[in-house]
Amino acid sequence: MSDSLIDFHRGDVKVLDVKEKYRGFFRVNDYELTTRSYRGGWMKPFRRELLERGTAAGVLVYDRKNDLVLLVEQFRIGAYAAGLEPWSLEVVAGITPEGEDPMDTAIRETEEEAGVTIDREHTVLIGKFLTSPGGTSETVSIFLSEADLSHAGGAHGLPEENEDMRAVVLKLDDALSLLVKGGINNFTTVAALQSLALRLGRTGAFA
């Protein structure tokens, strides 16, 4: 039995070739590579197509005084194509431009998508996560923040970016109940809600 959780590291990968197959809002690259094998030696060279989607930031805003959380509802083409409900309840999130601090992205997106102001002093990083490591390089930095949500709501987003979204304020227990019933299927939102529940000792809401 191995005494290490991870036996291999970045030095155990050899990239032989990279070809760009598509460039638009996102990029798709075709990698030819080899890695060390658990059976010993190296794997035969193989290919992997990779969606190069960049980095993003998401934030769950919590109103401690009123026990409320802020989500946004918007149309998602991925959910539609997957045969799911195309309007999705999610945490505020957005792509992080090159050179921008992910926390600054979270602060800016919260204002744009929900009309709510948050600040760095009341915002903490949960972690940085891969959304689907088998097919995309996208990472998401997920934050928790605190703000007064007593007047939050309404339609928001930047029309010039074809954004049309609704700010939704829920009691935390209602949001967790919705999660348990399958009403929330966005990974970033699931991770943020579960992290908040654990930090507050609200695991009973998952029963």
Could you give the residue numbers annotated as active site?
Answer: 161
In angstroms, the CA 67 to CA 130 distance is 29
Sign of CA dihedral 121, 123, 126, 127: negative
Contacts of residues 154-161 at CB distance under 8 Å and 24 or more positions apart, as own/partner, are 154/115, 156/72, 156/112, 156/113, 156/114, 156/115, 157/74, 157/112, 157/113, 158/112
Residue 162 near residue 77, CB atoms below 8 Å: no
Q: To 5 degrees, how large is the angle CA 190–CA 192–CA 197? A: 95
Angle (deg, nearest 10), helices 187-199 and 172-180? 130
